[in-house]
Structure 1
Amino acid sequence: MVQENPQMIWNPKDVQKLIYLLIDEYNKRAFVDGIPKDSNMWQEIAQKLDIPNYPWLSVAQGIGKVNALKQDYRASQFLKDQIGVGWNEEKNTIDADDAWWDLKIAVNPYIVKFKNKGLVNYPQLHLFFGSSTASRALRQSSFQRAPTPEEYVRRDHDLLG
């Protein structure tokens, strides 16, 4: 029996192609508040990807990858928002000692993958995810002070239960 949505291993070229397809749709104003106007858009993107080793690419796999990219973007943005540390241009990530990283990883475990190398597609992902706004437990208005790391943890706990 064939598995309906097998685990997919994305190579960097396919990820880049997905990002450019998303940006194209974004530029066409195909999204309202981060949600596609047309639910068929995901099917069209899956067809346009045309990944040779994965001809059965499903909409769920495409959406799953987009959600993973958004999570990576948010983790990378969390790092960019830190103060009191340097930036390592070669690694494209924060230049800090292990104690700093341990403290921040305890607050946001998703950043661990960026300790030695930054998010490769950050500029493109910033175009797509940078203007999205949060709602409910994750909302932040322009007149509020930036949340502390503890506030991020509390919000995540409130959101995830």
Structure 2
Amino acid sequence: MKREYNLWMSLKNGETGLGWDANANKLDCLDEWWDMKIKEDPNFKKLKKKQPSLELQYAWDQLYGDAVAGGDDCVSTSMDAKAFKEVHHKNVDKNVEAEYVESDDDLDVSQDGTQV
């Protein structure tokens, strides 16, 4: 599926003013534009016949888009397995610690065990 996404993005890359025909669920472009694009990459020919729906494009953007998460707890499809395991184990440790605290009241205990 990522190959299809990359092909679709490379078709639209750098293009401005592309229209979308919601009734036909496809790009609204002249045949000359398609001919030029198909000359650039013959794989575009299949996209001329059947283009991804807006819903699929949105899902692709969520999965493969350029959005970048920040922070120590982030994982990415492009991460190597070792980095993923490190983040995963760190999050597991946090979750285990959180299980022992049922409410904020449990944290308010003095040294002699009486609630503060």
Tell whether the structures are fold-level matches, with TM greater than 0.5: no
Report the TM-score, using the length of structure 2 for normalisation: 0.44
Report the TM-score, using the length of structure 1 for normalisation: 0.34
Larger radius of gyration: 2
Name which structure has the greater RCO, CA cutoff 8 Å, separation 6+: 1
